[in-house]
Amino acid sequence: MSYGIYIGRNHCADGHAWLAGYGDEPSSHWLEMAPRTRHRADAVIEVGVSPHADLPGERSTIPQVAETFRHLRVSYSCYLGVPAPITNGGLNEHGVAVRDIWSTSCQALIDMTPPDQRGPNYADLARLVMERARTAREGVDLIAALINEHGYSCYGGNSHIIADPDEAWVVIEFAGAQKLWVAERLGPDSIRASRPGHIGIIPDRPNDDFLFPAHFIPFGVEQGWYDPAQGPFDVNAIYGDGKGRWEGVAWIEAEMRQRAARPEKIGLHDVIWAIATERLTGDTAGYGQVVPLTHPSHDALRVMWHAPVGPVTAPLVPVFMGMNDVPLEYGIHRYLTTGESARFLDTRYTGNSKDSLSHVPQGAEVTQSAFAINKRLMHLAFQMQEPLLQEIHDHCRRSEQAMALDLKDVLRSAEILLNQGEERLARRLLSVQAEGWLQKALRDAMALADAAEARIRVCGTLNTTDTPLKPAQIW
């Protein structure tokens, strides 16, 4: 289902807003750096879902733009039949951050969805916003224009939080192929969690804080789902699941408001806690992201904190827009990657089957998979929650504190180089530093996992039943 949380700058110790969250998907996950790219005038991209998706549809093409922006993103290989690779979160060179979060439409809209639905899916929209938007509002307008022109393909409805250093927007896209969407603006005083994406009462016409197409409310009237005489239009009650704010959302928003009320307000460690606490984060969290929404002096200095699995047992590590590439260990591997169980790292059968060759480069596959190693550590910790889970959790948080202290000097050093026109040296510095942090985190995870397994085996508590152990979660 995924989870995202936005915290406006007026609540924050450093004077800037934050966007954080994770994706809920069972398949493999990997970190990618997508470079700025120029495209031919006649270039197109394929979007949508296939006839094999949970809500079937047809793949189609839409025009590509002349140039797409550099961005960092996490991709994964499978969810409800949506074609891979899929993405639901990241940050681009202009400081636009995106989180995709499930938001189910009402059953009537789901039932309206035709089997030949066409248009971008939720992951296409997240990627296209990172590739094309310079501000959060541009991201909203882009989603609106794409849905209006090309339609929208879904597995039952979805939403996005799109944020930049100045504002954020919650955007919900609805099932039914009726081109229904709605957006709510979040500002400096906002604290908003999405799980699922939720928008309540809206005005009868768009304004500075709420956007939606002209037919959005009239469609509900035509279907007999809404009578204007009975009060304002409640999006969740009429087009959504009708449950309002879920218990977990209410809990985490209240927790963050309490922290914001302290004299020290909200800092990095609080934002990390909001996606690392075992009450919210477990095996279903495929990765973690925390984005400080800042206006740095150079785009290369933009930072995204990344964890290769749910950060309950993994540290978030700073990676940079200006780094040259992602270490192979944090890139794609065959572990839990959809379709790889039927493929080979061998070309002998490519003449008989076009899909017999692995999609993972051989050189990448021979490296350690940060995703797999950290999954191992997570499930070891879950088998001895007292005291192992807390010990590993504390280690991760101490590692983040150490990196946060170093980060200021790294960014200042890179800024000096960029101010002197030494872009190559600045990118080299950022790449070397990020790789060093990422590789240290991986070595720590390997050592912690080996020690944890030995400890659990000696205690005779290795869980070999059919019931996995995990902390109690609120959702």
Reading the chain (475 residues) residue by residue, the pLDDT tens digits are: 799 999 999 999 999 999 999 999 889 999 999 999 999 999 999 999 999 898 999 999 999 999 999 999 999 998 888 888 899 889 999 999 999 999 999 999 999 999 999 999 999 999 999 999 999 999 999 999 999 999 999 999 999 999 999 999 999 999 999 999 999 999 999 999 999 999 999 999 999 999 999 999 999 999 999 999 999 999 999 999 999 999 999 999 999 999 999 999 999 999 999 999 999 999 999 999 999 999 999 999 999 999 999 999 999 999 999 999 999 999 999 999 999 999 999 999 988 888 899 999 999 999 999 999 999 999 999 999 999 999 999 999 999 999 999 999 999 999 999 999 999 999 999 999 999 999 999 999 999 999 999 999 999 999 999 999 999 999 9
C-alpha 74/C-alpha 132 separation (Å) is 17
Residues 5, 193 contacting (CB under 8 angstroms): yes
Continuous segment of H or E residues that includes residue 452: helix 423-459
Calculate the CA 117 to chain-centre distance. Answer: 25
Q: Which of 397, 348, 422, 299 is nearest to 35 (CA)?
A: 299
Which amino acid is residue 451, in one-letter code?
Answer: A
* Total number of residues shown for the chain: 475
Kindly state the DSSP code that residue 114 receives in the 8-state scheme. Answer: -
Which amino acid is residue 37, in one-letter code?
Answer: T
Kindly state the DSSP code that residue 228 receives in the 8-state scheme. Answer: G
C-alpha 151/C-alpha 119 separation (Å) is 4
- 244: alpha, beta or left? (left if phi > 0; alpha if psi -120 to 50): left
Which amino acid is residue 317, in one-letter code?
Answer: V
Calculate the CA 233 to chain-centre distance. Answer: 29
Q: Which of 365, 299, 325, 319 is nearest to 34 (CA)?
A: 325
Q: Could you please report the per-residue DSSP string of 89-108?
A: EEEETTS-EEEEEE-PPPHH
